[in-house]
Amino acid sequence: MDHREMVGAMEPIFSELADCRRVYPDLPGMGHTPAGALESADDVLDLLLAFIDGVIGDGQFRLIGYSAGAYYARAIAGRRPGQVTGLALICPLVENARNLPTHQVLRALVNPRETLGPDEESVFRDYFVVQTQATLARYKEYVLPALGLVDEDGLERIGQHWLFSAGPEGGTPYSGPVLIVTGRQDSVVGYAAPWDLLEHYPRATFAVLDGAGHALPHEQPGLTKALITEWLDRVRERRFGTDL
């Protein structure tokens, strides 16, 4: 994926909020961010922290991560707890995934072969557990354009050292409002292991959404919006000390 997937998931929420600046970076090796000579998750984290310093500076911000992006978001919040006023993790990549569901298609109401090539169709079928005209349209708009931009060699190199040298939750528990959203049918990262993150996040809401795999924001956009909106309210309440 590249930034377009998060744009597709988040803009229906944030475009309605007048006070929110949004920054959607491509992770290294995806979209238009080259992997360069990066060799590990630690290298990627250092680059992301430098990006924050260059774009945001020392100001505060809310942080949302999806899949591998959530893994880096956890580490950023751990390194910069004073800057990150709220943390949202969607289908978060975790170190010790367990009890992964077998990929199953809950609804197959569209034939992607009619409009997709073989490789594109295979990705769609393996990614979505809800295969409808709506999810196919979202796939074409927000996922498909990124497939040709992937630096496979760079991601493979980083993936060989994808664990941080120090765990993201190794320090003091993060005290800001947190949202953790998982898919009941997510065969990539599952929903069982992310539950363990609650020990480090005392202000966390944890949700397991039925009818959602790893493509959760596309398959459950309404629930995603409701949960993100409630999380934003909690962040504002904590930051400004008001009842919302």
Specify if 27 maps to a domain: yes
Total domains in the fold of the chain: 1
| CA atoms of 80 and 21, how far apart (whole Å) | 19
- Reported as a pLDDT band with limits 50, 70 and 90, residue 242 is low
Neighbours of 103 (CB within 10 A): 16
| CA atoms of 135 and 105, how far apart (whole Å) | 13
Q: What's residue 93's pLDDT?
A: 97
Specify if 108 maps to a domain: no
Q: Helix 68-79 vs helix 41-55: angle between axes, to the nearest 10 degrees?
A: 60
Q: pLDDT by residue (tens digit) across 41-82?
A: 999 999 999 999 999 999 999 999 999 999 999 999 999 999
Q: What's residue 113's pLDDT?
A: 96
- Say which DSSP state 132 is in: S
Specify if 140 maps to a domain: no
Specify if 130 maps to a domain: no
Specify if 113 maps to a domain: no
Picking from 164, 30, 183, the residue whose alpha carbon sits closest to that of residue 103 is 183
Token look-up 């009619």 returns 114
Domain at 184, CATH number: 3.40.50.1820
Q: How long, in residues, is the chain?
A: 244
Picking from 45, 51, 53, the residue whose alpha carbon sits closest to that of residue 76 is 45
Q: What's residue 170's pLDDT?
A: 81
In DSSP terms, which residues pair with 66 in a beta bridge? Answer: 90
Q: pLDDT by residue (tens digit) across 199-211?
A: 999 999 999 999 9
Looking at the whole model, is its pTM more than 0.85?
yes
Specify if 115 maps to a domain: no
Q: Using an 8 Å Cβ cutoff, are 45 and 75 in contact? A: yes
Specify if 127 maps to a domain: no
Compute the average pLDDT of residues 172-194.
97
| pLDDT at 239 exceeding the cut of 90 | no
Coarse DSSP helix, strand, coil percentages of the chain, rounded to the nearest 5 percent: 45, 15, 45
Q: Helix 221-240 vs helix 3-14: angle between axes, to the nearest 10 degrees?
A: 70
Picking from 12, 18, 13, 29, the residue whose alpha carbon sits closest to that of residue 68 is 29
Radius of gyration of the chain from its Cα atoms, rounded to whole angstroms: 18
φ, ψ of residue 118 in degrees (nearest 5): -60, -45
Specify if 139 maps to a domain: no
Q: Which domain holds residue 11?
A: 3-102+150-240
Q: What's residue 231's pLDDT?
A: 98
Compute the average pLDDT of residues 91-116.
96
| CA atoms of 186 and 46, how far apart (whole Å) | 29
Q: pLDDT by residue (tens digit) across 213-222?
A: 999 999 999 9
Q: Using an 8 Å Cβ cutoff, are 217 and 9 in contact? A: yes
What is the chain's mean pLDDT, rounded?
A: 95
